[in-house]
Amino acid sequence: MTYPPIALAAVLLLSANAAHAAPRAWVRDVSTGWSWGKPLTEDFSATLRESVDERLAVCAAGKDLRLDIKVERLNIRQPRDMRPNAVNFLDAQVKVRLASDKSVVDLRRLHVEAEDDGLLAVVRDPEIVLSDALGDAICRDLFPGDA
């Protein structure tokens, strides 16, 4: 079995560590608080985390922060709901902490909503729409000068 030269291994290790050393804001946890409406699924948690992380990469670039999101209320139109203009909404508590010492920098409750005329689910998943809206609200309200 052949091994790579030690110099090459050292360069690879140093470059891998340098890539991880850049500070960034990221979503550490998505959890549920008091639940009303549709229960939180693993798919929705993953979608929410990815959507908010994408937006944080732009609006909070270079900041060493972590976010905890607690979904307090989630209401998404069900397929059997025949109301003509239902509103999908999400209420979440967003806690922003410094990644280094975990001290709380900001704590806010955010409310986002998206109208649903019954065709939204055909065009785009309402969970994705609400996730994108929450990511936009976090950037707008928590990092207003950075976007």
Measure the CA–CA gap between 42 and 22, rounded to whole angstroms.
29
Domains of the chain plus CATH, in order, are 23-142 (3.30.160.150)
Put residue 62 in one of left, alpha, beta given phi > 0 → left and psi -120 to 50 → alpha.
Answer: left
* Arithmetic mean of pLDDT over the chain: 79
Sheet holding 86-98, edge to edge: 26-32, 65-75, 86-98, 104-116
- Check residue 17 and give its pLDDT: 46
Residues 6+ apart with CB under 8 A from 127: 43, 44, 47, 48, 76
- Over residues 18-71, the pLDDT tens digits come to 445 567 787 887 877 655 556 678 888 999 999 999 999 999 888 889 999 999
- Select the more confidently predicted residue: 30 or 17: 30
* pTM reported for the whole predicted model: 0.75
